[in-house]
Structures are given as structure tokens and as C-alpha cells.
Amino acid sequence: MGKVIMPKTLPEAVSHFRNDANCHAFVKAIRWPDGVVRCPRCGSADVSWLQNARVYKCSAEHDRRKFSLKAGTIFEGSPIGLDKWLTVMWMAINCKNEISSYDVAREIGVTQKTAWFMLQRARLAMQGDGGVASVAGAPVILRPNRARGHEGAARTPRPSPRR
Ligand SMILES: [Zn+2]
């Protein structure tokens, strides 16, 4: 368990992520690489999946015990389905800068404006480690957009090898 299945071609990606179970497995494998789902509030692994509500529920006693698969990821707070998000992530990872928001819009059936936003968010997410694992990084959502911040400020200085 915990293995990320990465489709090889775009048509493969589109059909792979159209399947809800595949999306779930994909995000789950990224968020919890060891295969153990943990509550984002208290860290407890004693959680159950509520199939009807499509959320996890922590068995510990605290508020906001239910959490979705999207919680704490760059997809949080977005009404756009994981099927579309993951396809865009796939495109951003595998096609790099060769794709435009128009390509994305056409491929997943959203407006160009929405596609642009998704692509931006996907690319920001990948600035972390350049890989798919960064979609699980919540801080990405909070990052200021480029117009407001200095691009260089996001880089971490390399520690000096001198001793
Ligand atoms: Zn909890």
C-alpha cells in the first residue's frame, strides 16, 4: 500500500482520475505515504472512513473530528473535484511549461479562467520539491501570489559546507 500510481500518458491520466477510487488512492498515498491515515487535528491514527459522507472521522474527543481527503492539501476549500485537480497536477508535472490554461480547459472541461487558477496552484505546489508529493503541502495555499512577494525570497539559502 501507499504506492502512487502515475499514469503514463494524458489520456491515461484522464481516464485514471475519472475513477473516484483511483483519486482517493492517489491522494491517500501522497498524504499518508506509510498508508496510515491520521487525523490532521490530533494526529491519531484511530480514524474511520464514512462512505456516505465521504469524509474521515477521528475517534478522539475534540472538535472538527471529520476531515476530508482534501483537508490540508492544495485542493482544500476548492469546489473542483479531485478528478479534475489530479489531471491538472498530472499535466503540470508531466508537461511542465508546454501546457497552457487553454489546453487544461479543453482537457478537463472547465473555463479558461478556472484552468488558469488550477494550473497556477499546481505549479506553485511543485515549486517545493518539484514532485507530486508537494500537493500534500498545506502551506502552498497560503503562499502570496507572485505579484505581492519577491520571487527570490521563497528560496532557502543552502547551508554552508564549511566548518
Ligand atoms: Zn483527532
pLDDT tens digits, one per residue of 92-141: 888 767 889 999 999 999 999 999 999 988 887 777 654 555 554 433 33
Please give the distance, rounded to the nearest whole angstrom, from the Cα atom of residue 75 to the centre of ligand 1.
Answer: 20
What is the percent of the chain where pLDDT is above 70? 74
Residue recorded with cell 511543485? 126
Q: How far is the CA of 41 from the centre of ligand 1 (A)?
A: 5
> One-letter amino acid identity for 75?
F
CA of 46 relative to ligand 1 center, distance in Å: 8
Which residue type occupies 127?
Q
Q: Which residues surround ligand 1, an ion (CB under 5 A)?
A: 39, 41-42, 44, 58, 60
C-alpha of residue 49 to centroid of ligand 1, in Å? 13
Helix or strand or coil: residue 6?
Answer: coil
Could you tell me the pTM of the whole model? Answer: 0.72
Nearest to 5 by CA among 31, 33, 26, 32: 26
CA of 76 to the centre of ligand 1 (A): 18
When mean pLDDT is compared over 15-19, 32-36, 71-75, the highest value belongs to 15-19
Domain regions of the chain by residue span: 70-156
Distances (CA, A) of 85 to 65, 91, 148, 149: 25, 10, 25, 25
Say how many Å lie between the CA of residue 57 and the centre of ligand 1: 8
Alpha helices per DSSP H over the chain: 10-18, 20-31, 82-94, 101-108, 112-126, 139-142
**Partners of residue 58 on adjacent β-strands:** 47
